[in-house]
Amino acid sequence: MRILLTGGTGFIGTALTEALLSSGCELIILSRGVHAKRIGCRFVRSLDEIAATEPLDAAINLAGASLAARRWSAGYKREIVASRTGVTRQLLELFARLERPPEALLSASAIGYYGHHGDECLTETSLLTSPLTSTLSPQAKPGFAQRLCSDWEALALQASQYGVRVCLLRLGVVLDGGGGALLEMAKSFRFGVASWLGSGEQWLSWVHRQDVVRAIQFLLQRDDLQGPFNITSPEPVTGRDFAQALQAHHRTFLRAGVPAPVMRVLVGEMADELLLAGQRVLPHALESAGFAFTYPTIQGALAAIYADHVALRIHSSSHQA
Ligand SMILES: NC(=O)c1ccc[n+]([C@@H]2O[C@H](COP(=O)([O-])OP(=O)(O)OC[C@H]3O[C@@H](n4cnc5c(N)ncnc54)[C@H](OP(=O)(O)O)[C@@H]3O)[C@@H](O)[C@H]2O)c1
């Protein structure tokens, strides 16, 4: 398969690149950086470098400025939006000029699409109308992340006008060693403090990075599938449950919640949008299509991650020494 990948240098993209290259795919990776040559990979800085006659079987769209990297100033929010809509628009322009548009576009989104719904279980069909007008729950309030996902998905869906099969990847919090959210979440544990955010009652819909890669490969292969897919493990946990599962991998001497007001001071608007509230999301569409998660439980996922990434608990070890 010949695949165009945006965001191929990121946390998910690097793992996906390895898997796709190992399975014999040829990749064109859109990246702003300069990269060493690699067999099977061609890096482009602009999609204009792709000729109209080039054959492409699929495009995978993962590019976007990180939501968690910085405080959401007005300027950074514009960058978060523009990086996603900008790259997605460039993909649409490419599909319009390709002699043969790709069969599929797999475009990233996030479970932030659903907004906040307390303990309700959310599947892909929970919000069949626009999430911004949904009355599913009185707790539903369109915030920045929800508007971002909604606009980003609407843009990606426009690829269907070129005959492209569009799958929307509604990603949960992706966990693995060596990057992503887990490094930040495990920080206090590495210094002996088991912590959770706010009440700890909020839901965390997480997924192991290897299951994300496998789900993307599954959706690439299955040309009968399209639409939104929650890429979250079948067993979401609360913040406190997550802290308990993480504790099994660290020697801790204190358990404490970080009070919500402290989080608001520390990270601003992001606290209420991403950290103090969550979504209880189930991967209904993927499982109905026959996809099986390698890591359905948080205990199994963390055990595998900690076995592979000893550095995650390095401070705990030195603390104990
Ligand atoms: N990781 C998660 O837990 C998670 C959860 C939900 C949704 N997602 C979504 O899934 C996608 C991939 O996630 P990830 O964790 O792999 O992201 P990541 O590690 O932050 O990588 C994203 C990639 O996007 C490109 N990028 C960054 N800023 C950009 C900008 N201003 N303009 C254009 N491109 C830019 C970068 O590629 P170059 O530097 O090579 O250009 C980067 O490698 C993201 O869109 C993210 O929102 C991720």
Tell me the two tokens of residue 238: 């609360």
Contact predicate 205/283, CB 8 Å: no
**pLDDT value at residue 172:** 98
Counting residues of the chain whose pLDDT is more than 70, the rounded percentage is 93
Instruction: Decide: 231 in ligand 1 pocket, CB within 6 A.
Output: no
Ligand 1 site-directed mutation target among 5, 6, 9, 204, most atoms within 8 Å of CB: 9
Q: Whose CA is nearest to atom 29 of ligand 1?
A: 65
Q: Whose CA is nearest to atom 12 of ligand 1?
A: 62
CA of 64 to the centre of ligand 1 (A): 4
Contact predicate 286/233, CB 8 Å: no
Q: Quick: pLDDT tens for 246-289.
A: 999 999 999 999 999 999 999 999 999 899 999 999 999 999 99
Q: Quick: pLDDT tens for 219-233.
A: 999 999 999 999 999
**pLDDT value at residue 309:** 82
Q: How confident is the model at residue 316 (pLDDT cuts 50, 70, 90)?
A: very low
Average pLDDT estimate for 181-190:
94
Amino acid at 291: F
pLDDT at 315 over 80: no
Pick the atom of ligand 1 nearest to 69's CA: 20
Percent helix, percent strand, percent coil in the chain, to nearest 5: 40, 20, 40
pLDDT at 317 over 50: no
Q: Which of 1, 54, 47 is nearest to 27 (CA)?
A: 1
Instruction: Decide: 33 in ligand 1 pocket, CB within 6 A.
Output: yes
Higher confidence at residue 80 or residue 132?
A: 80
What are the C-alpha distances in Å from 288 to residues 124, 170, 218, 230, 284? 11, 16, 13, 12, 6
Q: Quick: pLDDT tens for 36-86.
A: 989 999 999 999 999 999 999 999 999 999 998 899 999 999 999 999 999
Q: Quick: pLDDT tens for 198-253.
A: 999 999 999 999 999 999 999 999 999 999 999 999 999 999 999 999 999 999 99
Q: Which domains does the chain have, with CATH numbers?
A: 2-320 (3.40.50.720)
Instruction: Decide: 181 in ligand 1 pocket, CB within 6 A.
Output: yes
Instruction: Decide: 156 in ligand 1 pocket, CB within 6 A.
Output: no
